[in-house]
């Protein structure tokens, strides 16, 4: 059971509890901290309690009620909505006098596919001010308050910043989320951010001062939650300059659009040390007709040019994203997206399954393209006219094995043996189907077991020389000090790697592996 953060001593009663379930311990709930920071004079009556998805709902309920609260505010997201639905029902059964207020994206947008109706109030929109006003009215005894409160977007500069609420323990052990802007100017139909109009920015001086205070307190891992960080050149360059003036190690994560990389940004990105910057680059599709269907801007020439630049001329670590199951996109077209990306960049390519988020306009294609989605979070596509259920299931396994083999960075030399003719999709699809026949599992496959499977497949199914595959696996696995090759592979090794590279401190596991990996030119087999 994880009571991760309280602002006062345990055992003291609090009139207001702010709580949520994070997807994992290392995530810190910036939304709760915003609500808490903006409670005004009610702050002293409130406590902030964070749990994770692994905690049991009954025990969360018990911990919440131990504070004898009058109001419990819960942040509801796609990763916790099922548990929150159970929690609300339990709270209203055992403590019906407690007023339960829900907010967050899963409450803001309709339809609610998890039953949240037993909560007393739903705040739809950005709740920082609305929650304070609601609490004041409730605590003063007001009764004529509607269940649904529409909050709408807030002016970022009307908010009290939440960053002082990160504890020293948060700073030492968890990702520190920060934001310099809210909203996105684009209109991709699968995305909640497309529902907002324009971008709202926090005043830059104040934001930099907050960053500096976090830095002084020892924060070195910053995840920017801005949806399109690389828009707004003055803000972006100033923030990058803030970090360039500081000594690594540190780690920054930004989400960026792929077709906008002006020179002022390029020249700065080139100056960051390896392991300091990670960019999440949404590609989603390279098919013009799919992009048109989902109203996503697509400038393929700029994307290709910028990815090559980032890959070859900076030390930036990239995740590029593709989506499986977009309306109107055939499997052959998804295969083309993947093949092209692998040959443009050596970065991780995250394969996401299309989700139908409530409130988004992706549902307008349901009939035309026979789109069928799960009603369970995270509301993934199950089938479409172009990709039937069995094929979609196969693609979900493909994505999982792709993550284990390709994105993990564990098999950078060996993975390319899976597509000797450079048709990445076909080669990897055949391997993924073979692995699934062997294991009937996509989880809990250890690194050594995966190495043995790769060896077996490449030697016995594809006819590669055992010596060649074993040497390749040795080169991949033994790059990380302390690893031991499985005996069944070791007996075939004729060449052990002689050196391991040193990497900067403070990096994530995958980044370390990517820095240890062979140069990107070795990732495409010779023709």
Q: Which of 108, 228, 235, 464 binds ligand SF4 (CB under 6 A)?
A: 228
Q: Where are the alpha helices (DSSP H) in 174-285?
A: 204-216, 233-244, 263-269
Cβ distance to ligand SF4 smaller for residue 186 or 215: 186
β-strand 381-383 against 372-373: which pairing, if any? antiparallel
282 binds ligand SF4 (CB under 6 A): yes
Per residue, the 3-state secondary structure of 336-368, as one string, reads HHHHHHHHHCCCEEEEEECECCCCCHHHHHCCC
The nearer residue to ligand SF4, 194 or 339, going by C-beta atoms, is 194
Residues 6+ apart with CB under 8 A from 280: 253, 254, 255, 256, 318, 319, 321
**CA proximity to 400, closest of 443, 356, 447:** 443
Question: Structure tokens of 474?
Answer: 């040795």
Q: Which is nearer to ligand SF4, 188 or 417 (CB)?
A: 188
CB 228 to ligand SF4: min, Å: 6
Minimum CB distance to ligand SF4 smaller for 3 or for 260: 260
Minimum distance of ligand SF4 from residue 190's CB (angstroms): 7
Regarding 299 and contact with ligand SF4 (CB under 6 A), the answer is: no
235 lies in the binding site for ligand SF4 (CB under 6 A):
no
> Minimal distance in Å, beta carbon 19 to ligand SF4?
27
25 Cβ partners below 8 Å, 6+ apart?
Answer: 2, 4, 52, 174
* Interaction between residue 285 and ligand SF4 (CB under 6 A): no
- In this structure, are residues 298 and 291 in contact, taking their beta carbons and an 8 Å threshold? yes
Looking at beta carbons only, is 43 or 358 nearer to ligand SF4?
358
Q: Does 323 bind ligand SF4 (CB under 6 A)?
A: no
Binding mask 183-222 for ligand SF4 (x = CB under 6 A): -x-x-x--x-xx----------------------------
By CB under 6 A, the residues from 97 to 136 that bind ligand SF4 are none
> Cβ closer to ligand SF4: 227 or 429?
227
Q: How far is the CB of 3 from ligand SF4 (least distance, A)?
A: 33
Rounded to whole angstroms, the Cα distance separating 254 from 204 reads: 17
- Helix pair 424-439, 389-402: axis angle to 10 deg: 90
Pick between residue 52 and residue 194 the one whose CB is nearest to ligand SF4: 194
Q: Does 349 bind ligand SF4 (CB under 6 A)?
A: no
Candidates 110-118, 159-167, 181-189, 406-414: pick the segment binding ligand SF4 (CB under 6 A).
181-189
Contact 316, 345 (CB under 8 A): no
Interaction between residue 261 and ligand SF4 (CB under 6 A): no
Work out how close the CB of 196 gets to ligand SF4 at its nearest, in angstroms, rounded to a whole number: 9
Q: By CB under 6 A, name the one of 14, 124, 227, 317 that touches ligand SF4.
A: 227
Q: Please tell me whether residue 442 adopts helix, strand or coil conformation.
A: coil
User: Would you tell me how many other CB atoms lie within 10 Å of the CB of residue 374?
Assistant: 14
Output the DSSP codes for 99-164: EEEEESHHHHSS--SS--TTSSEEEEE--HHHHHHHHHHHHTT-----SEEEEE---GGGSPP-GG
Nearer to ligand SF4, 346 or 350 (CB): 350
Q: Name the residue nearer to ligand SF4 (CB basis): 380 or 423.
A: 380
> With respect to ligand SF4, which residue has the nearer C-beta, 138 or 283?
283
Count of C-beta atoms within a 10 Å radius of residue 507: 19
Smallest distance, ligand SF4 to C-beta of residue 490, A: 46
Specify the stretch interacting with ligand SF4 by CB under 6 A; choose among 37-45, 180-188, 452-460, 464-472: 180-188
Strand partners, 321: 282, 350
CB of 71 to ligand SF4, least distance (A): 32
Considering only 87, 257, 269, 326, the residue that binds ligand SF4 (CB under 6 A) is 257
Binding of ligand SF4 by 436 (CB under 6 A): no
Closest CA to 186 of 176, 178, 196, 177: 196
Per-residue contact string for residues 138-177; x = within reach of ligand SF4 by CB under 6 A: ----------------------------------------
Residue 320 touching ligand SF4 (CB under 6 A): no
Q: What angle do CA 115, 120, 125 make, to 5 degrees?
A: 80
Neighbours of 192 (CB within 10 A): 17
Of 42, 61, 41, 43, whose CA–CA distance to 51 is shortest?
61
| Nearer to ligand SF4 among residue 173 and residue 289 (C-beta) | 289
The partner residues of 383 in beta bridges, in order of sequence, read 372
Q: Which residues bind ligand SF4 (CB under 6 A)?
A: 184, 186, 188, 191, 193-194, 227-228, 257, 282
């Amino acid at each position: 059971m994880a009571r991760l953060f309280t602002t006062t001593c345990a055992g003291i009663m609090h009139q207001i509890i702010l709580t949520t379930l994070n997807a994992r311990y290392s995530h810190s709930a910036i939304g709760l901290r915003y609500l808490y920071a903006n409670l005004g004079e009610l702050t002293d009556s409130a406590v902030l309690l964070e749990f994770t998805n692994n905690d049991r709902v009954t025990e969360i309920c018990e911990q919440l009620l131990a504070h004898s609260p009058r109001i419990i505010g819960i942040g509801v997201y796609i990763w916790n909505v099922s548990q929150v639905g159970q929690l609300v029902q339990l709270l209203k059964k055992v403590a019906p006098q407690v007023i339960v207020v829900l907010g967050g994206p899963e409450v803001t947008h309709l339809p609610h596919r998890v039953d949240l109706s037993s909560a007393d109030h739903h705040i739809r929109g950005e709740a920082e001010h609305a929650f304070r006003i609601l609490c004041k009215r409730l605590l003063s005894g007001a009764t004529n308050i509607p269940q649904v409160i529409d909050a709408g977007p807030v002016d970022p500069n009307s908010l009290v910043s939440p960053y002082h609420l990160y504890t020293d323990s948060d700073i030492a052990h968890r990702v520190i989320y920060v934001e310099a802007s809210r909203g996105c100017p684009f209109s991709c139909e699968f995305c909640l951010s497309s529902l907002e109009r324009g971008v709202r920015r926090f005043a830059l001086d104040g934001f930099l001062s907050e960053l500096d205070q976090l830095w002084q307190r020892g924060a070195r891992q910053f995840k920017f939650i801005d949806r399109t960080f690389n828009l707004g050149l003055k803000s972006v360059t100033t923030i990058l300059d803030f970090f360039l003036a500081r000594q690594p190690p540190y780690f920054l994560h930004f989400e960026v659009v792929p077709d906008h990389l002006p020179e002022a940004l390029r020249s700065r990105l080139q100056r960051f040390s390896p392991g300091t910057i990670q960019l999440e680059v949404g590609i989603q599709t390279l098919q013009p007709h799919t992009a048109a269907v989902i109203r996503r801007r697509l400038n393929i020439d700029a994307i290709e040019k910028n990815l090559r630049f980032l890959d070859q001329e900076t030390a930036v670590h990239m995740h590029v994203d593709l989506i499986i199951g977009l309306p109107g996109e055939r499997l052959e077209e998804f295969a083309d997206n993947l093949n092209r990306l692998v040959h443009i960049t050596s970065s991780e390519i995250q394969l996401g399954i299309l989700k139908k988020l409530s409130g988004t306009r992706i549902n307008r294609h349901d009939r035309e393209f026979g789109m069928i989605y799960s009603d369970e979070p995270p509301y993934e596509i199950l089938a479409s006219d172009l990709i039937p259920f069995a094929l979609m299931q196969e693609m979900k396994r493909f994505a999982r094995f792709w993550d284990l083999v390709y994105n993990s960075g564990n098999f950078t030399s060996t993975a390319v043996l899976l597509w000797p003719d450079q048709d990445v999709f076909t080669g990897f699809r055949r391997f993924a189907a073979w692995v699934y026949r062997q294991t009937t599992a996509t989880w809990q496959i250890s690194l050594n077991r995966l190495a043995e499977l790769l060896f077996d497949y490449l030697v016995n199914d594809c006819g590669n020389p055992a010596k060649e595959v074993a040497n390749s696996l040795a080169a991949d696995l033994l790059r990380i000090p302390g690893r031991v090759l499985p005996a069944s592979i070791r007996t075939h090794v004729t060449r052990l790697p002689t050196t391991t590279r040193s990497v900067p401190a403070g990096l994530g596991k995958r980044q370390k592996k990517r820095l240890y990996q062979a140069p990107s030119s070795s990732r495409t087999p010779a023709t």
